[in-house]
A and B are shown apart, each in its own frame.
Chain A
Amino acid sequence: VRKLLLYLLPALVIAASFVVAGCGKGGGDSKSIKIGLAGVLTGGDGQIGASMLNGSQIAIDEWNAKGGVLGKKIESVSLDDEGNPQKAVSVAQSLIDAGVVAVIGHFNSGCTIPASRLYNDAKILEISPGSTNPQYTEQGFPNAFRICGRDDQQGAVIADFLHDTKKFDKIAILDDKTTYGEGLATVVKNAFEAKGGKVVVFQGVGKDDLDFRANIAVVQGSGAQALVWGGMYKGGGPLCVQMRQAGLNIPFVSDDGCQDQAFVNTVGGTAPDVYVSFGKDYTSQPAAQAFVQKYKDTFHRDVGSYSVYGYDAAQVILTAMDKAQSTDADKVAAVLKSQPFDTIQGQIEFDAKGDLKVADYVIWTIKDGKLQELSPSP
């Protein structure tokens, strides 16, 4: 019995300390408004997520410099979900416990979707700058938004490009088996087949696999005219390099998950026949230059592809809070859905589901050491 007590006592102490800590958190600090920033900040895909949330941070700093929102300072709580769905759920819980009124994030669709259920139950506004899987806004959550396109739009653009522009009728598709990658790969497959094309290889690879030579040999033997990668650059980079090393010189086509300088660094700045779908190039627009410069001054590196989206997401919800004169998720969501907003992306509007009314996917390619629009819009 004494031994049992010896174990029980520390257990009780620990349990008690949690209860105390929990009470402390519940109280909340009414002097500031807390906004959660969540996304993949580390690991093979860390760079794209970090540059997205850095963009949001700049918007928050700008608002704080103007005196905050609703007369209060904005405090950002930044957490890393490592691109891991399980971790994302616990990050979501931590943010809710910390008393955030809104969350900007997550990045990976596989993280955003499970986390959005927790935010919905807690009546917290969520806006994702980078999750493109349609399912996220199809769940019917009234307070879930995204400020980027959807994969059913993105996949159609990829299929159009392959079938109509390149005149291909046989393609191979590989994906990374994540919610995002597999979802996009399926959309491309369906869209391409609807156009009368044939998908000769359709396979998933292990999420952490980095050796794709066996997959490449299969694609090589299938006579495909292009290889589509549905997934992030962590796998896409090595896949693209390895297929060139194996002498497979068909076009490599991927998605917004490969839209990062880290991808270019892996495949090389002169890699030919690499195409990536993504929104229009806002970073080079005149409207973005002040932001681009500020980003460089603050973080001492160039903006990432999703930095503009992260910045816009923060701008839009803070503006909406200001207009609603409240941080209540329902009221802010009502404002978001009722009127257009001016952002670096131009004037944007949300539909009833929380998606953008207009998505603007275009095809990018590697030119002069970086990703650029294939046919720049005027």
Chain B
Amino acid sequence: VTTLVDILINGISRGAMYALVALGYTMVYGVLGMINFAHGEIFMIGMFACVYAIGFFSVLWGNQVVVNLVLGILVAMIFSAAYGYANERIAYRRLRKAHVLAPLTSAIGISTFLQYFIFLTVSRDAVNFPRFYSDFLTGHHLSLGPVQVTYLQITILGLTLVIMSGLFYLINRTRLGIALRATAQDQLMASLVGIPVNKIIAFTFILGSALAAIAGVMFSMYNNVLVFDSGYRVGLKAFTAAILGGIGNVPGAVLGAMIIGLTEALTTLQFGSEWDDVTTFAVLMLVLLLRPRGLLGERVADKV
């Protein structure tokens, strides 16, 4: 039983990290109806920005754990947001009215480009997340009976829930949210009623990218190591999660990510982790066969 609970906690933590990335996929799809395949790379850039920023700050004024970590996360968010915005401005904006395959292909191109750009200019080898900065989160436990939950796992889960609620509120209860939803429904009509469509779309990319940066920092703290291709695999899983939950739907992305995280963890317990991908994608297919729009999907998936 202890093992099972342990497995469930690990599955939920992993799912929560997928969720932070999946939110970016789902928001961009919700507004633009396109899949931003470069989102995994934005996530990876966040990881690298944070580690290098922490290194820089610790040289500048010493090892202030909390200060440097918070600043590191901020720098990562700024970097990722800048890359996300640049992607939108350079690779997608002109293609907005083109055939649906054009921005999709452009996104795949950007994804590969960014991966190898980081590979060639930043680091060809794996980089370790500085343990000095993650130890106070990974080294301390909260004991729930026989099961131990690390502070980091609690932080990840908490962050995901807070961010999901925040996004839900933003989209459904604020003026900005109304503008977002209007842009999603009909860009032309939205612009006719005075909504700055370009700014709204850019905002979506910036917000999604900043969230990916947070996920990236959590992920690299959790796994200790970052590599230039880390974004690809996580991106794929997060994208799957977004589809599973109903792409375009914020709580759906989190739900989908949790299901994938738990599926992976339970597979490891039951069949061994080499079956991860088999069961995950089997679950995806099963859900899509029964609910083609995903678990919480509302709109007809006619855009891709």
Task: Name the interface residues of B1-59: CB closer than 8 Å to any CB of A.
Answer: 2-3, 6-7, 10-11, 13-14
In the assembled complex, which residues on chain B have CB atoms less than 8 Å from the CB atom of A215?
268, 273
A166 within 8 A of B: no
Number of A-B contacts (CB under 8 A): 107
Q: How far is the CB of B153 from chain A (nearest CB, A)?
A: 9
Tell me the interface secondary structure of chain B in the complex.
helix
- A238: chain B residues within 8 A (beta carbon): 223-225
- Interface pair A46/B274, CB less than 8 Å apart: no
Whether, in the assembled complex, B131 has its beta carbon less than 8 Å from a beta carbon of chain A, the answer is yes
The smallest C-beta distance from B97 to any residue of chain A, in angstroms, reads: 25
Which residues of A lie under 8 Å from residue B6 when comparing CB positions? 217, 220-221
Kindly state whether residue A268 has any CB partner on chain B within 8 Å: yes
Q: Which residue of A lies closest to B272 (CB)?
A: A203
Cβ proximity bits A330-341 to B, threshold 8 Å, 1 near / 0 not: 000000000000
Q: Does A249 contact B (CB under 8 A)?
A: no
Is B148 in the interface zone, CB < 8 Å from A? yes
- Most A CB contacts (10 A, CB to CB) among B11, B138, B273 go to B273
B124 at the interface (CB under 8 A from A): yes
Within 8 A of B (CB), among A200-250: 202-206, 208-211, 213-215, 217-218, 220-221, 234, 237-238, 241-242, 245-247
- Contact yes or no, A46 B13, CB < 8 A: no
Chain B residues with CB under 8 A of A218: 3, 7, 268-269
Which of A210, A217, A246 sits near B225, CB closer than 8 Å?
A210
Q: Is the CB of A206 within 8 A of B268?
A: no
Residues from chain B with Cβ under 8 Å of A44 in the complex:
125-126, 225, 227
Interface residue total, chain B, C-beta cutoff 8 A: 38
Q: Determine which of B2, B119, B138, B223 lies in contact with A211 in the assembled complex, contact meaning CB atoms within 8 Å.
A: B223
Closest approach, in angstroms, between the C-beta of A247 and any C-beta of chain B?
A: 6
Q: Whole-angstrom distance from the CB of A220 to the nearest CB of chain B?
A: 7
Q: Are A217 and B119 within 8 A (Cβ)?
A: no
A94 within 8 A of partner (CB): no
**Docked CA distance A217–B14 (Å):** 14
**Shortest distance from the beta carbon of B134 to any chain A beta carbon, whole Å:** 9
Q: How far is the CA of A225 from the CA of B276 in the complex (A)?
A: 26
B281 at the interface (CB under 8 A from A): no
Number of A residues with CB within 8 Å of any CB on chain B? 35
In the complex, chain A residues whose CB is within 8 Å of the CB of B11: 214
Q: Given A214, A245, A262, which contacts B125 in the complex, CB threshold below 8 Å?
A: A262
Measured between beta carbons, the chain B residues less than 8 angstroms from A211 are 10, 14, 222-223
Interface membership of A27, Cβ < 8 A: no
Known: A206-B277, A215-B268. A234 touches B126 (CB 8 A): yes
- A215, B273: Cα distance in complex, Å: 7
The verdict on A43 contacting B131 (CB below 8 Å), with A214-B269, A266-B224 known, is no
Q: Are A217 and B3 in contact (CB under 8 A)?
A: yes
Whether A47 and B13, one on each chain, are in contact in the complex, defined by CB atoms closer than 8 angstroms, is no
A265: Cβ under 8 A from any B Cβ: yes
> If the complex has contacts A42-B124, A210-B230, A238-B224, are A177 and B139 also in contact, measured as CB distance less than 8 A?
no
A contacts, CB < 8 Å to B: 41-44, 46-47, 177, 202-206, 208-211, 213-215, 217-218, 220-221, 234, 237-238, 241-242, 245-247, 262, 265-266, 268
- On B, residues with C-beta under 8 Å from A are 2-3, 6-7, 10-11, 13-14, 119, 124-126, 128, 131, 138-139, 141, 148, 150, 222-225, 227-230, 232-233, 264-265, 268-269, 272-274, 276-277
> Sorted from nearest, which 9 A-B pairs have the closest CB atoms?
A221-B3, A217-B6, A214-B268, A203-B272, A204-B274, A42-B124, A213-B10, A210-B223, A44-B126
